[in-house]
A and B are shown apart, each in its own frame.
Chain A
Amino acid sequence: GIQVEQSPPDLILQEGANSTLRCNFSDSVNNLQWFHQNPWGQLINLFYIPSGTKQNGRLSATTVATERYSLLYISSSQTTDSGVYFCAVRQGGSEKLVFGKGTKLTVNP
């Protein structure tokens, strides 16, 4: 099946710093999403981005489908950005999401 790899696995930042999270996938996909999981386990949709670039406040994402990667940018990070960021992809007509292992982000005050 498709492989989804995220890097880095862990990231520690000071408040106000910027960061880039990467997601590589091994096959073509028709859907790619970024999620944030807070410390209580809740998964929040950040972006649905099978291709192109989207921005939402301090967060933005870019997917280059032809090169099979996606990037999540976090600018001016805040302590509330802490948690685990997951990239997930879908293939075909299924709703099955295949998740990467995640990037654990810690933002210190």
Chain B
Amino acid sequence: KAGVTQTPRYLIKTRGQQVTLSCSPISGHRSVSWYQQTPGQGLQFLFEYFSETQRNKGNFPGRFSGRQFSNSRSEMNVSTLELGDSALYLCASSLAPEFIETQYFGPGTRLLVL
């Protein structure tokens, strides 16, 4: 069974641009969560989705948004990029919220904002 896949793996953008990252969960998994990892702030929760509904959102500005499609794939979008948005963005999937102990992480997308 294929793991969680994230595309693209690496991305370079300039300030002011916008970016869309994609996450495909493990087949059969319907719950997707996103995290941002930076050297200064560590791993921080962005949002979680289940059955196309956002269940929870972390403390990030409105420039960060996401969605989940009917096939459980998820995208996150960051508009008006800032230098501080440079980070590793990790996606995780699980069967459903009640199976949280079986959450698997993808390899991440490394975003560099110049």
Contact = CB atoms under 8 A, between A and B. Distances in A.
Interface in B43-60: 43-45, 48, 50, 55-56, 58
B101 A33 contact: yes
Interface stretch (B16-24, B67-75, B78-86, B105-113): B105-113
Nearest to A94: B56
A41 to B, nearest CB: 5
A83 B77 CA distance: 29
Interface residues of A, number: 23
A96 B43 contact: no
Interface stretch (A58-66, A68-76, A98-106): A98-106
A9 to B, nearest CB: 11
Interface in A24-59: 31, 33, 35, 40-45, 48
A45 B31 CA distance: 17
Size category of the B interface is 20 to 34
A88 B103 CA distance: 12
B90 to A, nearest CB: 6
A34 to B, nearest CB: 12
A13 to B, nearest CB: 23
A18 B55 CA distance: 41
Contact of A45 (B33, B88, B104): B104
Contacts of A88: 43
A98 B90 contact: no
B42 A101 contact: yes
B100 A31 contact: yes
